[in-house]
């Protein structure tokens, strides 16, 4: 009898400690940039932001190219997502799966975004970014010395952007 109570107590305790992830589905209506999209779920239309990546800004080197690649990949597609809250701009923070594959992994592996290490410490994403750097994929076409992370780009004024965020002038960068 006592064992039943202990087992019941443990089940109750662990069920409260592990929150259930509410996975939802939506269709990608629009890609705003490499890491920000507009979703439609039923009648609801809302803007989302990926949580573990940071893609180049549209005016930043490789930003438009990253946008084009992600736009081609996602627009009109049905995706699964888990929301984890909202950011300062009212966007829903999400992790996304496309055809059962994690979108953050895909973006990092193709060199379309950085692993956002300020907000995530997942080793697998670090390894994928290092792989993209070693193979000169996407924004890494000219190596690590010719890229400016978006979090620095956003913090710089125009003068420092021109000085430190020149980007890659390699012809291959515009072709990938």
Range of the domain at 141: 22-175
In a domain, 53, yes or no: yes
Give mean pLDDT, residues 169-173: 49
CATH code at position 105: 2.40.50.90
Q: How many domains does the chain have?
A: 1
In a domain, 67, yes or no: yes
- Lowest-confidence segment of 78-87, 115-124, 163-172 by average pLDDT: 163-172
In a domain, 7, yes or no: no
At 1, is the pLDDT very low, low, confident or very high (cuts 50, 70, 90)?
low
* pTM beyond cutoff 0.85: no
In a domain, 9, yes or no: no
Round the CA-based radius of gyration of the chain to a whole number and report it.
20
**Residue numbers annotated as active site:** 49, 57, 91
Give mean pLDDT, residues 81-91: 95
Per the structure block, which two tokens stand in for 125? 């994403």
In a domain, 64, yes or no: yes
Cα separation, 113 vs 94, in Å, equals 16
In a domain, 14, yes or no: no
3-class DSSP assignment, residue 25: strand
Give mean pLDDT, residues 105-122: 95
């Amino acid at each position: 009898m006592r064992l039943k109570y202990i087992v019941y107590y443990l089940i109750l305790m662990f069920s409260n400690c592990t929150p259930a992830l509410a996975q939802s589905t939506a269709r990608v209506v629009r890609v705003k940039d490499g890491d920000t999209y507009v979703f439609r779920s039923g009648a609801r239309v809302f803007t989302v932001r990926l949580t573990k990546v940071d893609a180049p800004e549209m005016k930043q080197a490789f930003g438009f190219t990253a946008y084009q690649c992600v736009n081609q990949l996602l627009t009109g597609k049905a995706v699964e997502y888990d929301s984890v809250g909202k950011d300062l701009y009212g966007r829903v923070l999400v992790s996304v799966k496309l055809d059962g594959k994690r979108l953050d992994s895909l973006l990092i592996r193709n060199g379309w975004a950085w692993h956002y290490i300020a907000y995530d410490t997942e080793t697998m994403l670090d390894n994928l970014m290092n792989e993209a750097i070693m193979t000169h994929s996407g924004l890494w076409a000219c190596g690590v010395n010719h890229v400016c992370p978006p979090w620095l780009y956003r913090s710089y004024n125009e003068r420092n952007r021109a000085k430190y965020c020149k980007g890659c002038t390699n012809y291959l960068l515009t072709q990938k």
